[in-house]
Amino acid sequence: MSAENEKKEAKTVLPDVRDPEIKESQNVVDGDSPSAEVDGGQTISVAPTVESVSNTEAMVLAQKKAIENGGAENNFKFPQLFIKKEELIDIEIDIIFDSENGEVYSITQAGIINAEGLDALSAVKYTFKFKPVNYDDMQKYRRQSSFYDSNAGDLIINRLLLRNLFLINHLRSTNLTDAEGNPIKVEVDLETNNLTLESINQLYDTIPALLDVVMTLFERRLMMLFQVGG
């Protein structure tokens, strides 16, 4: 490998992101396999059996919007099954906070909670824009976040690492501000096409629930399944 290539490769190393790695599981307690942690755990088989997938919350909100507007607009006759790489995915969240001290009381998908009439509380909406994830991206991230679990006899995905890959590789902008109203800068390294270290560290300084909600909603938009097929 040339010195120039080594320099470029080193620059792509970001927090909590590692190269594809196959190793024995290090976190087995009392003989339990990490792959058994389906809904509440952080692992999943690299090749899950997918029989169906749905975003129930999105369907409920779409139905609610249609009722409020007197019916659906019916702009599409066929589903959008093909990704338009130039279009960004908007993830909108509502934050309800104390008007006196700024303490956050609620972070939800936009439209879930009606914030009208909350005298002592204030509400604000923030939008996070992500680059779409195609099937090739998804396969690459599955490999990068996997390890071999000898108990399960399978490659297992570390969900936390997979989530970081989505964030670092696909977030492109947000109107998020700090407590003084200063905008949070989301900058992309032109060489690696990932978020810069400064942007990542700034996002990591937010309260954990913020990114947890945003990334969960993004995964739902991707129709991601975290289930191990039997």
Which residues touch 10 (CB under 8 Å, ≥6 apart)? none
In whole angstroms, what is the distance from residue 156 CA to residue 140 CA?
14
Neighbouring-strand partners of residue 92: 127
pLDDT at 73: 75
- Tell me the pairing of strands 146-149 and 121-130: unpaired
pLDDT at 33: 35
Where in the chain are the domains?
Answer: 16-26+36-45+54-65+83-221
pLDDT at 46: 62
Within 10 A of 66 (CB to CB), how many other CB atoms are there?
13
Which spans in 16-134 are helix H? 56-68
Tens of pLDDT along the chain (230 residues) come to 555 554 444 444 444 444 433 333 333 333 333 333 433 445 666 665 666 677 777 777 778 777 777 777 777 777 777 878 888 999 999 999 998 889 999 999 998 888 777 778 999 999 999 999 998 999 899 889 888 888 877 778 888 999 999 999 999 999 999 888 899 989 999 999 999 999 999 999 999 999 999 999 999 998 875 543 33
What number of helices (H) and strands (E) belong to the chain? Answer: 6, 7
Spatial CA neighbour of 181 closest among 222, 117, 124, 133: 124
pTM of the predicted model, to two decimals?
Answer: 0.72
